[in-house]
Amino acid sequence: MFGFHKPKMYRSLDGCCICRAKSSSSRFTDSKRYEKDFRSCFGLSETRSGEICNACVLLVKRWKKLPVGTKKNWNHVVDARGGPSLKITSRPKKIKTISKKARPSQISRLQKELKRNNSDAHSTTSSASPAQSPSYSNLSDDGSDTELSPGSSRSPVFSFLDLTYWKRQKVCCGIIYKGRFGEVLIDPHLFKPCCRNKQRQQQQQQQQEEEEDEEEEEEEEEEVEVEEGNLNTFVFFLLSASCQM
């Protein structure tokens, strides 16, 4: 049986004067033969000399075969294998910003989870002791998420709620969560519909005032009818008295 064949590696103390590689599968050669093409082939701004690896030699030969007047070069190879202390040619990765748009299916799913979580929270908080029950009365003026005491273990918002999409807002009736496209999520513990009560009270007051106005008009009409009846009887008596005379 033959043993494992390990390819022979050639090493250089100073490394390649172009890419700074210190080991190669081919021999290192003197760079004097190729130094005149370094500036155009690799886009160098300074002169370099020393040993050159076979890979960089092949790049110089490839550059010589390009058509006259071309601007292509292999500047990205310069100091590419030198390590962290030399030139770093790795380009920073572009961070892709993905715009999150909530779909109707996602909104309905969030609403279902919110209802389910509210029902679970109601069942657990009803059986919990007063010391452990969450306090919703200590709301801050700006409606921030820091209304709970530092010692409370309960999170002020739900774990599934994406705060980059849903923004917390304080209204006259309590706290709501509003989406980018006008969607509204309501927590029954943080929302008390005071506006509806005011509207109902105003409607009831208007109805009462209208009923009182109608009653007053009916009473005035009855008084007018009584006065007209009395006047008619008085005229009748006068006519009968004049006839007798």
Written as six digits, the tokens of 148 are 């709970």
pLDDT tens by residue, 152-211: 444 445 667 788 888 888 888 788 888 888 888 888 877 777 766 677 777 888 888 888
Residues 78-93 have a mean pLDDT of: 61
pLDDT tens by residue, 24-44: 888 888 888 888 888 888 888
Confidence grade of residue 234 (pLDDT, cut at 50, 70, 90): low
DSSP for 153-187? -S-SS-TT--TTTSEEEEETTEEEEE-TTS-EEEE
Strand ranges, E, within 46-93: 51-52
Confidence grade of residue 132 (pLDDT, cut at 50, 70, 90): very low
Who has greater pLDDT, 64 or 100?
64
Q: How far apart are CA 34 and CA 205, in angstroms?
A: 100
- Among residues 115, 127, 117, 211, the alpha carbon closest in space to that of 155 is found at 117
Who has greater pLDDT, 196 or 110?
110
Judged against a pLDDT cut of 50, whether residue 78 lies above it is answered with yes
Looking at the chain, the whole-number percentage of residues with pLDDT higher than 90 is 1
Judged against a pLDDT cut of 80, whether residue 67 lies above it is answered with yes
Contact 78, 89 (CB under 8 A): yes
With 0-12 / 13-18 / 19 or more C-beta atoms within 10 angstroms meaning exposed / middle / buried, residue 166 is buried
Judged against a pLDDT cut of 60, whether residue 3 lies above it is answered with no
HSE on the CB side for 155, CA within 13 Å?
6
Query: Of 21-25, 132-136, 194-198, where does mean pLDDT reach its minimum?
Result: 132-136
Q: How far apart are CA 148 and CA 132, in angstroms?
A: 12
